[in-house]
Amino acid sequence: MSDKVTNILLVGVGGQGILLASEILSETFMLAGYDVKKSEIHGMSQRGGSVVSHVRFGSKVYSPIVPEGEGDILFGFEILESYRSLPLLRPGATVVVNDLCIPPPAVLNGQQEYPAGLPEKIAARFPDFLLIDGQKLAADAGNARAANTVLLGAISNRLQIEEKYWQEALERMVPKKALAVNLAAFALGRSL
Amino acid sequence: MKETLSGNEAIARGAYEAGVKVASAYPGTPSTEILENIVRYPEINASWAPNEKVALEVGIGASFGGGRAIVAMKHVGVNVAADPLFTLSYTGVKGGLLLITADDPELHSSQNEQDNRHYARFAKVPMLEPSDSQECLDFTKLAFEISERYDTPVMLRTTTRISHGKSVVETSAPVTDLPQPHLMRDPAKYVMLPGNARKRHFVVEQRMSDLAKDAATLPVNRIEMRDASMGIITSGVSYHYVREVLPEASVLKLGLVHPLPLDLIREFAGKVETLYVVEELDPFIEEQVKALGIAVKGKELLSLCGELTPGRLRQGFGLPAAQQMAAEDLPGRPPNMCPGCPHRGVFYTLNRMKAYVSGDIGCYTLGFMPPLSAMDTCVCMGASIGMASGVVKVIPEEERSKVVAVIGDSTFLHTGVNGLMDMVYNKAASTVIILDNRITAMTGRQENPASGHTLMDDPTFSVDLHMLCKAVGVQHVRTMNPLDLAECEKVITEEMARPEVSVIITNKPCVLIKREGVFKKGPCYVVDPLSCTGCRACLKIGCPAIQWLPGEGKKGIAHIDALLCTGCDVCRQLCKFSAIGEANER
Ligand code: SF4
Ligand code: SF4
């Protein structure tokens, strides 16, 4: 077990299931024997605001938030929110983003435009970039709402954690009737 | 067993392990989940109170009866509970009593940023400050020991990062040997007439000085010697930021932040070359260290405003910042009321009528945001009605009919009803709209005395808001369908014109209510692209389900997201060109 702490950020829009995904991540790391800290702000953000969840694991973790500019992995549920959070990352960080645009209020009412070309701009700065059609892959796995789990699978590839811990965390955190679909979605993501 | 728990979950677990009998709270971010998790332990009688003062009073009763009690609230909630708190400090307790204050540095979801460590000092009660979930659990248990050993209520202060942060926690079995609660009389201690209270004040001062002495030996206050050139006194989540950013520094970590262990501080100051205090918000520790005549640096390095972060700490200590890309100007994503929220139509109407809206705390505070832009004031829970009374007292006659107070169901029962009593009693003519969505929505749908269910989800009596308003003396109380814009306009116009107090109660529930049969989804709506003229009228309600497609039609057209639409029908009423209709009709 290395001493270095791994810094993961999960970002997106309130209501996208980011909190559950970060709980599954934390659970996995704890099961794998690491110290884990997770932190996010919810409250106002439940009404469609931006959400940023911080998950850190290692042999000993102090700060519950990722120090600015030290994020190792960004796990984006929505494109604009992913782009907004790039300043939290260190150069060379891994970026995995769900190919989904949720227009914010000013875009909905036509006052501003949803910025174009964000995936390309992210790729230019962060070569380790993966854009995933989470919705479609989740639909292939049996339920479009399991997109989060597809993304989790894709992330799991980039972390040295044995697969059994991921499985156990999913079994603990996902409701029984949704487990089969989620395990399938996870496997699809992991194959990317 | 090992688990990852949030601070709030760990406090709930700690309450269970400490043998707590009664828990009471009013929901408020970031404290809400404490009670929501205590419900998992059926041994504890847990309930939502209509406000924080009542919650504390319930806790006090349980304690006087000999049971351990826990009371939870957010920082501003303590303002409401302050009255009983200050006298509780004099009476002391029987069963241990723990008051949680969940502070919100950075105002993630609050109206101010107050530092409630001052309350501990002001009310003369000890305060513990955990720095992670394990300490939330351990300090909760410790709080009950301190409470009973020193005959005092104890406060435990968390901050948003602690309340909502998760970390690994080792749990254990609950205590078993607590005395059985029963009625005990001790009026000299529990009846705070001046004659009794005067004597108790000496007891309070003695208790605090005993505690201050013992604080040096409490293991939650500890010196960690590393490099002696830099010594840092810190507590709460700041401790972890210090360990992260300044791993070589020596640290005095305080678990008890009031009273401070002055001997330990002197000892630590003597061991290090330069002494610092790292704390969020106010210089609470720093000023007391300075009062000892010890030279210390603190707030000249760190801001009085906002949350501490590793980056801000680094900057304060002049350390190089991590290499970061610059932030760009991107469209913001502020919170918004849900698609189909019953409050949208009311705010749309108030905006059109140019009403001066005295607002309150809840989802409907978002009526402030454009395009609804219909809120002129918002100060604290329950204040909208009292403030409306005040403003009509000073403005010229012709402006008075413009004033409207809005308030939610839960907030009305919290402290709004007192304002209404005053408004009637003192004849301040104004219109009050109770936005009754039948749940405490903003904090995540908690039950309240008007919702018909308890925290344990048992059906119960529900307050009849109409009769309550009548009972405090309002002559004109009417119900209004907030999703019918013509009705809103008619009813609000009539009541604003009335030179007497009137109350309008809306009758549509929150769209997020989970209980069957309360909220009914309507048919999905669509925009007919051929009839849409691109007039943008439907955009004025700011519904997240309606999107403007600038590239389509002559001037662009509106589009309704079928997944988000709840069929509330408000946008259809706005379209003069009948371009919006039920999906199955098209
Ligand atoms: S939670 Fe309920 S009351 Fe709050 S914005 Fe949504 S629909 Fe409206
Ligand atoms: S109000 Fe009607 S015509 Fe105007 S933009 Fe909306 S749908 Fe089109």
Q: How do residues B230-270 score in pLDDT, each as one tens digit? A: 999 999 999 999 999 999 999 999 999 999 999 999 999 99
Which helix (H) or strand (E) is A155 found in, with range?
Answer: helix A147-156
Give the whole-number percent of chain B exceeding pLDDT 90. 96
Task: For residue B72, list its beta bridge partners.
Answer: B25, B100
Q: Nearest residue of A to residue B4 by CA position? A: A27
How confident is the model at residue B570, as a pLDDT?
Answer: 97
Burial label for B170, CB within 10 Å (0-12, 13-18, 19+), is exposed
How confident is the model at residue A1, as a pLDDT?
Answer: 46
- List strands edge to edge, sheet with B45-48: B45-48, B22-25, B69-74, B97-103, B154-159, B127-128, B256-258
DSSP B405-441: EEEEHHHIIIIIHHHHHHHHHTT---EEEEE--SSBT
* Residue A51 φ/ψ, nearest 5 degrees: -125, 135
Does B363 contact ligand 1 (Cβ within 6 A)? yes
In chain B, residues with a C-beta closer than 8 Å to the C-beta of A38 are: 4, 165-167
Q: Minimum-distance ligand to the CA of B443?
A: 1
Angstrom distance (rounded) from CA B144 to CA B76: 23
Angstrom distance (rounded) from CA B188 to CA B303: 46
**Structure token pair of residue B163:** 């309340």
Residue in the structure block whose two tokens are 């789990």:
A149
Cβ pair B322:A39 closer than 8 A = no
Q: Minimum-distance ligand to the CA of A14?
A: 1
Q: What is the ipTM of this complex?
A: 0.94
Angstrom distance (rounded) from CA B311 to CA B314: 5
Contact between A77 and A40 under an 8 Å Cβ cutoff? The reply is no
* Residue A165 φ/ψ, nearest 5 degrees: -70, -35
- The distance of A111 to chain B (nearest Cα, Å) reads 9
Distances (CA, A) of B480 to B122, B417, B436: 46, 19, 10
How confident is the model at residue B476, as a pLDDT?
Answer: 98
How confident is the model at residue A43, as a pLDDT?
Answer: 58
Per-run averaged pLDDT (10 residues), chain A, 192 residues: 84 90 95 95 74 96 95 96 96 95 93 94 96 89 85 90 95 92 92 88
How confident is the model at residue B21, as a pLDDT?
Answer: 98
Contact between B94 and B157 under an 8 Å Cβ cutoff? The reply is no
**Structure token pair of residue B511:** 């769209």
In chain B, residues with a C-beta closer than 8 Å to the C-beta of A125 are: 325
Contact between A152 and A119 under an 8 Å Cβ cutoff? The reply is no
Question: In whole numbers, what is the pLDDT of chain B averaged over residues?
Answer: 96
- Minimal CA–CA distance to B37: which of B9, B17, B18? B9
Q: Reduce the DSSP state of residue A188 to 3 states and report it.
A: helix
Does B526 contact ligand 2 (Cβ within 6 A)? no
In chain B, residues with a C-beta closer than 8 Å to the C-beta of A83 are: 328, 330
Verdict on whether the full-model pTM lies above 0.90: yes
Angstrom distance (rounded) from CA A97 to CA A95: 6
- The distance of B550 to chain A (nearest Cα, Å) reads 7
B399-423 burial code (b ≥16 CB/10 A, e <16): ebbbbbbbbbbbbbbbbbbebbbeb
Cβ pair B325:A87 closer than 8 A = yes
Angstrom distance (rounded) from CA B306 to CA B558: 40
Nearest CB to B330; choose among A69, A108, A115 = A115
- The distance of A116 to chain B (nearest Cα, Å) reads 11
pLDDT of B278-323, one tens digit each? Answer: 999 999 999 999 999 999 999 999 999 999 999 999 999 999 988 7
Contact between B250 and B277 under an 8 Å Cβ cutoff? The reply is no
Contact between B343 and B364 under an 8 Å Cβ cutoff? The reply is yes
Cβ pair A84:B330 closer than 8 A = yes
**Structure token pair of residue A137:** 């892959």
Strand B356-358 with A71-76, pairing: unpaired
Ligand 2 centre to CA of B341 (Å) is 20
**Structure token pair of residue B267:** 């000892």
In chain A, residues with a C-beta closer than 8 Å to the C-beta of B548 are: 108-110
- Minimal CA–CA distance to B34: which of B17, B15, B52? B15
How confident is the model at residue B283, as a pLDDT?
Answer: 98
Q: Nearest residue of A to residue B7 by CA position? A: A39
Angstrom distance (rounded) from CA B211 to CA B340: 55
Does B123 contact ligand 1 (Cβ within 6 A)? no
Angstrom distance (rounded) from CA B404 to CA B395: 14
- Residue with the nearest Cα to atom 1 of ligand 2? B575
pLDDT of B8-19, one tens digit each? Answer: 999 999 999 999
CA dihedral sign of residues B82, B85, B87, B90: negative
Q: Nearest residue of B to residue A86 by CA position? A: B325
How confident is the model at residue A96, as a pLDDT?
Answer: 95
How confident is the model at residue A2, as a pLDDT?
Answer: 54
Cβ pair B168:A84 closer than 8 A = no
**What secondary structure letter does DSSP report for B105?**
T
- Residue with the nearest Cα to atom 1 of ligand 1? B441
In the predicted model, residues of chain B with pLDDT beneath 50 are: 586
B59-95 burial code (b ≥16 CB/10 A, e <16): bbebbbbbbbbbbbbbbbbbbbbeebbeebbbbbbbb
In chain B, residues with a C-beta closer than 8 Å to the C-beta of A58 are: none
How confident is the model at residue B585, as a pLDDT?
Answer: 57
